[in-house]
A and B are shown apart, each in its own frame.
Chain A
């Protein structure tokens, strides 16, 4: 620590910030109206200092959180000298507000201490609809941002405590579900009010002078820890290439190439060689690209580093203009989440070469986003949820089923809530056997969810991935099973593209089944502990046939329907499989 700071006091203040950011998140979640915000928790909260640097992140979504600083800096650059107590700012546009995509609306409240701008209570929430060509405003087929919905530069939603009714009216007029959008916006405003109140209280308590000192101390402390962590990683250049399947019925792969350069205490991330921006809504604004790098690198740092701006200082991110990771206007960005997830996955692929013990093999890859829309009782409804997920195997463990992607710590929506609110019935939610990539540590199983549409004229659109390029394994582990979108599975079923550029109209009784990809395996499946394979068979996670074919584990059915391990036959089977491999290698 550079200055004469009391470590206990630093911790009290740091935890005070964390608590405020978490409290803002709780209040936003509890007062919000749309399932995607209140149940799936597709929103984030952060407390920033007077310079817009993040002090604390609510326990929410890292891909949002790393994007806050650029938006706040943009806001400050445009409004410096014209920011007053009681102001509340709103903005969403990637190009006019350093935003992420139009559904993610920022609400930011400046905080004044003794008359000086000293902090910001900031929130971003994924709104269920912001207009545009399709319900849910995730128009994968959008060629330009103008097609994606309502664009908001940073504007004053409140000025010196007075609401700007015109903005509220414009928002209401441009979205399909004004009640939900305004309700969620109010929840964001309330969260910033609470953030302001608590931040002021913390200053009153600790003293403004001390707070200034400890805020700098906190950034320096986080930077110092991050530098030590990076210094421990082996120096070198680590590269990785990953793909998104592509858009529509005839998808063209979208290539991600990353070069990670770890040198001493610093690391640079460069995306040269990545596909040019596309005529589709999956271009990721550059602040989001930076957030992906921060999230992936933070995830392989072991110690308990404060999640404030300071930890990002030793990290540099670059990308060529006009790529899918640094698009130029008017590229569309509505479904850019998928690109953020893929950047993290790609970075993890590179990091597997530098810090193999701290990563997992590839997983299902962030959220799948199905959106159902229609009219009920004369009012429009839009329902979308973020489906996750599994991870690949790691050096120490099998992949996990039912965990969030590190890019977005979000939740599933309770089935009982969906069915109480929308003309949809969920008929299946569970694991798919034999879908985890084989490995010494098996990849997590695919997760399947079925939606029965209970009303005619229901629009469906889906953002998914990893069918043509399923999650890769590591160190000899196999890839996981590919993802799938099916209408009315069985005879006469219809497969839908991973990224639907146009919504599909479903009739009453239609069934949509989404199956996520399985996680990749870690290590050679022939080294998997046979009792672990037996356990998987007993749990119906792996079939006996799959156990024999991929793991070389031979099981015998018992009289009571149980299974037991045939150790001798397993040994012989594994020898045969190894010999076959060697033969294939020689040929």
Chain B
């Protein structure tokens, strides 16, 4: 490669910028190739989320004296798809099914998420019954047509969909994975007759068998399609209007980045992307600092999310359910949310964040969340019209958060308003002092978050005490240490850039596209050429979606296999050259080895093996994502040390303590005893009495809780 080209490649990499939207704040991060970090945090703009993204990018670039035109890629994580589902604010959607099966979506899989709960109530289906239409058509399991579609009936259904006034349509016919012709035909009619309506065919979204899961995933895709399309479209437009160059890449639930144009076709794949970015960042950081076992706690303004990284491996699942209140990941607990069969990083989430609203139940018990004041109106102390007390208001009262301003002065704080709302709305009705009440709120918020952490640890038989807590998000550092103490964890790391850590995760994630399709065959009857013929078109599809030259893309092939007669398959990575070398016997051996690893046994007398699906992931190197600098340190936006102290309340036993307020940089060299409050541009870290903090070589704050010191 010519020297000039190398330089150009370096330059391209240098101007990548990440923007992560949370419920409350929008975080911008820029990481130079040398690992120098520059960040910006500003309130999200829910009326038009793109505005904060563009403003933030322009601000940060101005500070870095860089022209927007030089940006090669904007890496983005957004919660617009998740929020649409959680808040029931997706597009009015219709569903067309095979005649006789419009209730499959609502009947689901019958199982309920809890034993012994007769009063359990199912989540409302995303498409109500009156907008679920049936079409006389039928395909058999082998793909043969039992009942062809009649053009007149298609027209009639399309007309009914049109009259329903929907913005999106999902189409899911029985056995369409074996023969997509009917879905394709209806899809074409819909697109022609109803331009502007977002159409999702199950064969495009998830061409795999099991009708409920496929229908549900397709419906989710349709339901979030219009809001995602509108949002991404407006962001691209706003970027272009602001002169920000480069392509827009969006994070998917799997942790891989993808071009925005492709994301708009398969928005179901980004539904759980918000929390994924932080976990990708955590995995990167764990490798950097040599910490193999981490529990991540990402606490923002609206929710707290936990995930587990064991031996550097993060946990993925394709049996996810979204929505339905608290999402505590467990593969056996089914029915609480909406089935989403796309690759997802396994994360547990509870509605506890800085903006979570504090209320009192009938018996006078303090409750926190799950409702959030969000960015607008936000906590009462923001002075933006918020009238209900929040966790952040309590944290201001307690002295944990700066009583003047947050985010380097971007967000002004009115401490008096915080005191008044906690006093009037919490302390007075309970007959408590102001500080007792505020502390109660803080403790309850911790207890709520503990459930998310337990869901990924103790619920899986893992003892959190054996993990390091990596606390990030705007409020991770404020709550992380006390939470860790309650779980007997010994060490908490609040990473550099903790307040914008998800944005850092965006910068280190790879560009990736996953595509699968059903492939129901007997393994022993397959020739290497037939296997190649199953993978090759998928690779072409993936390549097309990635829109990159072949030389920049590497492929990962995998196959779902099972013993003939089993209903559940195992996914086995198919290494390059394996089939050519060992034929199907090589695949059989890989499958049986995986079966033994997963289930503790294989069948000695060679049982027949079936293939179920083929999967291809394309990973684009070079332009775009996937840069992993070997170091991290703060650049320009790190605040200077402002030696100060304030009175901070640490519970009824310790009461108020005069507590030093320091910058992260001031911790360099040596260990410091709590109490301490570390204030930095995008977050606050509370080091309570009894804990000690030091900085590691990368600028991460390492807080030890061990009694032995």
Contacts and interface: CB of A to CB of B under 8 A. Distances in A.
B566 A33 contact: yes
Contact of B112 (A404, A430, A539): A404
Q: Which of A360, A419, A540 has the most CB of B within 10 A?
A: A419
A416 B332 contact: no
Contact of A394 (B103, B119, B565): B119
A248 to B, nearest CB: 29
A490 to B, nearest CB: 15
A401 interface: yes
Given A38-B568, A183-B565, A197-B600, A429 B107 contact: yes
A33 B117 CA distance: 29
B332 A15 contact: no
B174 A417 contact: no
Contact of A299 (B111, B116, B130, B488): B116
A55 B351 CA distance: 31
B140 interface: yes
Interface residues of B, number: 58
Interface stretch (B452-460, B644-652, B692-700): B452-460
A16 interface: yes
Chain B interface, DSSP helix/strand/loop, else mixed = loop
Contacts, number: 184
Nearest to A419: B141
A291 interface: no
Contacts of B120: 400, 403
Contacts of A76: none
B706 interface: no
A197 B122 CA distance: 36
Given A26-B332, A401-B107, A194 B599 contact: yes
Interface in A379-428: 388-389, 391, 394, 396-397, 400-404, 406, 409-412, 414-417, 419-420, 425, 427-428
Contacts of B103: 401-402, 429-431, 447
Nearest to A57: B115
Nearest to B111: A411
Interface in B551-605: 565-568, 598-601, 603
Interface in A155-201: 179-180, 183, 186, 190, 193-194, 197-198
Contacts of B488: 8
Given A416-B210, A417-B209, A358 B101 contact: no
B565 A410 contact: no
A93 to B, nearest CB: 27
A374 interface: no
A488 interface: no
A539 B460 contact: no
A30 B599 contact: yes
Interface residues of A, number: 82
B129 interface: yes
Contacts of A360: 118-119
Nearest to B333: A59
A303 B393 CA distance: 31
Given A33-B566, A414-B210, A11 B107 contact: no
Contact of B107 (A33, A38, A402): A402
B567 A22 contact: no
A450 B488 CA distance: 56
Contacts of A301: 116
A412 B129 contact: no
B210 A417 contact: yes
Contact of A414 (B212, B334, B565): B212
A19 B461 contact: yes
A444 to B, nearest CB: 10
Contacts of A550: none
B565 A179 contact: yes
Contacts of A388: 110
Contacts of A39: 567
A307 interface: yes
B540 interface: no
Nearest to A413: B567
Interface in A6-58: 8, 11-12, 15-16, 18-20, 22, 25-27, 29-33, 35, 38-39, 41, 57-58
B242 interface: no
B463 interface: yes
B112 A403 contact: yes
A402 B599 contact: no
B130 A450 contact: no
A301 B116 CA distance: 9
B106 A358 contact: no
A110 interface: no
B1 to A, nearest CB: 48
A268 B603 CA distance: 48
A573 interface: no
Contacts of A295: 116
A194 B118 CA distance: 31
B388 to A, nearest CB: 25
A176 B277 CA distance: 53
B118 A540 contact: no
B341 interface: no
Nearest to A305: B116
Contact of B118 (A27, A197, A391): A391
A560 interface: yes
Given A30-B568, A299-B116, A450-B100, A410 B111 contact: yes
B119 A358 contact: yes
A416 B461 contact: no
A72 interface: no
A152 interface: no
Nearest to B601: A190
Contact of A541 (B116, B118, B129, B601): B129
B565 A402 contact: no
A419 B140 contact: yes
A197 B460 CA distance: 15
Nearest to B213: A414
A202 interface: yes
Contact of B463 (A12, A193, A412): A12
Contacts of A41: 111
B119 A397 contact: yes
B115 A194 contact: no
Contact of B141 (A57, A396, A416, A428): A416
Nearest to B487: A8
Given A26-B331, A429-B103, A416 B110 contact: no
A205 interface: yes
Contacts of B463: 12, 205
15 contacts: A22-B332, A31-B566, A32-B566, A33-B565, A41-B111, A190-B601, A400-B122, A410-B110, A412-B110, A416-B174, A416-B211, A429-B101, A430-B100, A431-B129, A447-B103
Interface of A: 8, 11-12, 15-16, 18-20, 22, 25-27, 29-33, 35, 38-39, 41, 57-59, 62, 179-180, 183, 186, 190, 193-194, 197-198, 202, 205, 295, 298-301, 307, 348, 358-360, 388-389, 391, 394, 396-397, 400-404, 406, 409-412, 414-417, 419-420, 425, 427-431, 447, 450, 538-541, 560-561
Given A30-B567, A447-B107, 17 more contacts: A22-B332, A26-B332, A59-B332, A194-B599, A198-B461, A295-B116, A299-B116, A299-B117, A299-B118, A402-B108, A409-B112, A414-B212, A420-B141, A425-B140, A430-B100, A447-B103, A561-B163
Interface of B: 100-104, 106-112, 115-122, 128-130, 140-141, 146, 163, 174-175, 209-212, 330-335, 454, 458-461, 463, 486-488, 520, 565-568, 598-601, 603
Per CB-CB distance, the 6 closest pairs between chain A and chain B, nearest first, are A430-B103, A402-B107, A30-B568, A420-B141, A38-B567, A428-B100
